Structure 1
Amino acid sequence: MGLNKAVLEFQSLGLLVFILLTILIYHFPKFLKDKPLYKSNDLKIDINKADQTTLEKIPYIGEKTASLIIEDRNIRGYYKNIDELKWIKNFDKVKEYIKVEEVNE
């Protein structure tokens, strides 16, 4: 009878260790997951502040489009929202790289 009790205790301990390891393995990656140092919006270029060279670095915007954006921005004063740039060729692709921040007047 003493042997059966020892086996039962050993099996119970093994089951407990298995359950704890399963929980640890399931949740451990969440503890290790690094939080990004920045948000995706931090990587976007503010179209109201960007100069010619910065605008030309944006995919799908060349020298001519960058000049037109600056010219249009000078006429408007500033852009209030990103949709004001829908006239740009490839706007749907460009909008992933740009943002419009609020301008304090």
Structure 2
Amino acid sequence: MKLPCEKVVWDVLPAIRASIAEELANCGLTQQEIARELDMAPSAVSQYLSKKRGYRIVFEDDVKESISQLALDIKEKRVTDIVPRVCRICTQLRAEGDRCGGHDTG
């Protein structure tokens, strides 16, 4: 049995990180800068950008927009703690259906 939280850890969060990294790269940040902003190793950023990690989920337009806005806010230094924003993006995914296991928590 795979719990919804396992799906989040193994599939959803890596996909969100990969999308944020890709958006930041599109904004002109280097892999080193992306790694620093997302508090991860440059090698992880490289894997995200080369689609070796975090490629299992394709996001709907509203989630893509949230990720794009977060990347822009990171680039423009308008956000210092990305955790609440990533949590909101994950919540958006849960509202869409079974991306995180499809179980209603309420």
Same fold (TM over 0.5): no
Give the helix-richer structure, 1 or 2: 2
Q: 1 or 2 for the larger relative contact order (CA 8 Å, sep ≥6)? A: 2
Kindly name which structure, 1 or 2, has the bigger radius of gyration based on alpha carbons. 1
* TM-score normalised by length of structure 1: 0.31
Q: TM-score, normalised by structure 2?
A: 0.30
